[in-house]
Amino acid sequence: MYAEQRQARILAEINETGGARITDLGHRLGVSGVTARRDVEALAGRGLVARVRGGAMALTPGPALAAGPGPGPHRARVAIAAAAARLVRPGEAIGILAGRTTLLLARELLDVPGLTVVTNALDVADAFHHGGRPGQTVVLLGGIRTRSGALTGPVAERTAAGLNLDVVFLGVHGMAARSGFTTPDLAEARTGAALVAAARRTVVLADHGKWGVRSAAMIAPLDGADVLVTDAGLSRPARSVLRQRVGRLLVADVP
């Protein structure tokens, strides 16, 4: 990813959430803390964010830098999660991998009766524990906890290998024609691939900003997705590629 692309995504996130830590930005972008710090300092030098200890904050009011066409990241993720939730039927066994968009999906599914939910995300399990309906079953994969709160490693992979799921939902760090659906964490990629192998259908949740982003580890190739749920900001060339490669391209309506 070019520096301009990283900085646009950083600015969009800071303006959306009000602020961000350097370490979190580096993890989400798949770059070192030094690189993320330089990007933040570049934005601060242009008067676009306020530099604070350990991170940056949005300016109120402040100038905006468009990260690309389409809706803001959070609104896009909310719409994508709602569209993906409509693919779930009562009584199904589903997998939900760790991620910001998949957590929003979990919250959309709290009222669906009879679900069996398998997840490697502590926050997804907590969402169902505190807000789910009676009769839902939540299976939390064991393993080693990563910085993002995901459980990974041989224990998680062996548990996933013994399951039979109707559908698995995964969020990704990036997607591209050659590298497929990727994440910067190798262990999370292996756990994700294990759950994908255990499911009859794979649904990927990815906003338009993920297109063209390549990370170190592939979870699945593009043609491994039965459904890709994205938003209207996805460019026409990207849609053309994805319609040829994924089973179904579902574009969520963002209010």
Q: What pairing do the DSSP bridges indicate for beta strands 137-140 and 116-119? A: parallel
Ramachandran angles phi, psi of 168, nearest 5°: -120, 140
pLDDT (0 to 100) of residue 151 = 93
In the prediction, which pLDDT does 19 show? 78
Each residue's pLDDT tens digit, 117-167: 999 999 999 999 889 889 999 999 999 988 777 899 999 999 999 999 999
Domain-by-domain residue ranges, the chain?
Answer: 3-58, 73-252
* Residues in the chain, overall count: 255
User: What's the confidence (pLDDT) of residue 74?
Assistant: 81
Q: Check: CATH 3.40.50.1360 for 73-252? A: yes
Judged on CB neighbours under 10 Å (0-12, 13-18, 19+), 244 is exposed
Fold entry, domain 3-58 = Arc Repressor Mutant, subunit A (1.10.10)
Contacts of 212 (CB under 8 A, 6+ apart): 1, 5, 174, 176, 238
Name the H helices within 114-185.
Answer: 122-131, 154-161
Low-confidence ranges of the chain (pLDDT < 70): 1, 16, 59-72
Question: What pLDDT does 69 receive?
Answer: 46
pLDDT at 70: 52
d(CA 165, CA 162): 10
Beta strand pairing call for 19-21 and 55-58 = antiparallel
Distance CA 145, CA 147 (A): 7
Cβ of 253: how many Cβ atoms within 10 Å? 10
- Looking at residue 59, what is its pLDDT? 67
Which residue type sits at 141? L
The structure's pTM equals 0.74
Work out the number of other CB atoms within 10 angstroms of the CB of residue 3.
12
Whole-angstrom distance, CA of residue 143 vs CA of residue 158 = 10
Per-residue pLDDT at 66: 38
Residue carrying the six token digits 């079953």: 137
